[in-house]
Amino acid sequence: MDRRLLEITGYSAIGVAVLVAILFLFVDRHVDTAAYSLGGTFWYDVAEVVSLIGDHDWYNAWLLTGFFAGGVLALGRGLTPGVRNLLYLCVAVSIAMLIGETLKWFFGRYRPQAMLEQAKYGFAWFESKGIKHSFPSGHTMRLFSAAMALGLIWPKARWPLLGLAAVVGISRVMVTRHYPSDIVAGAFVGIFCALWTWRIMQGWRGGPATK
């Protein structure tokens, strides 16, 4: 096991937990109350379009296509660097999505709409349907896991990709689908799922490679 990565993950988890707690107690409600006033404006419409980049159904479609293509190419050409990287990307995002759905079910956090329309704020625990599906942000997890994975493959593109993921996360707050703390937690899960998947798969023969 990579001790340095383990330490970084642990310290980062502590820092994120503290930040999430601060946001939950002092920031989230105020930010989403302000975001609610954007409804019907140009910025709200832009945020809605931007947030579609992390759409769940779209990701399911390209993951299925990626795994299928990777399998066919592996059988035809073997595990070339391109095939290994494609499979790594699909695995990293899939793991992030699986962990994210588990966390959503565990916490069962009310979405901002529940606070704004029903005065419900906090966690229902072990529920993840409808308005109880906010923490962490799935769009943010998917984008950050994909951005980090691609950034490990193409280091020069890492920061622009992570910047795009951050913009999508912000858009989810602007359309009052998530709180800032949901975005922070989603980014953490996405980034470290990509990092750990990279580290584990590199330990195998024919793991992913930087270009």
Residue 73 belongs to a domain: yes
51, burial (CB in 10 Å: exposed 0-12, middle 13-18, buried 19+): buried
The confidence score (pLDDT) of residue 119 equals 93
The two three-digit tokens of residue 151, written as one number: 């950034």
The confidence score (pLDDT) of residue 56 equals 84
Q: Which domain holds residue 122?
A: 3-202
For the domain that residue 76 is a member of, what is the CATH number?
Answer: 1.20.144.10
Residue 211 belongs to a domain: no
Number of domains in the chain: 1
The confidence score (pLDDT) of residue 205 equals 60
The predicted model scores a pTM of 0.94
The confidence score (pLDDT) of residue 126 equals 92
The confidence score (pLDDT) of residue 210 equals 79
Task: Identify whether 136 is preceded by a cis peptide bond (ω within 30 of 0).
Answer: yes
Residue 174 belongs to a domain: yes
pLDDT along the chain (211 residues), means of 10: 90 98 98 94 95 88 94 90 94 96 95 94 87 94 97 96 97 97 98 96 75 73
The confidence score (pLDDT) of residue 112 equals 96
Residue 162 belongs to a domain: yes
Residue 207 belongs to a domain: no
CB-CB contact of 92 with 192 (8 Å): no
The confidence score (pLDDT) of residue 206 equals 61
Residue 210 belongs to a domain: no
The two three-digit tokens of residue 194, written as one number: 């990509």
Residue 209 belongs to a domain: no
Residue 176 belongs to a domain: yes
Inter-CA distances, 74 with 49, 101, 113, 142, Å: 36, 29, 46, 25
The confidence score (pLDDT) of residue 176 equals 96
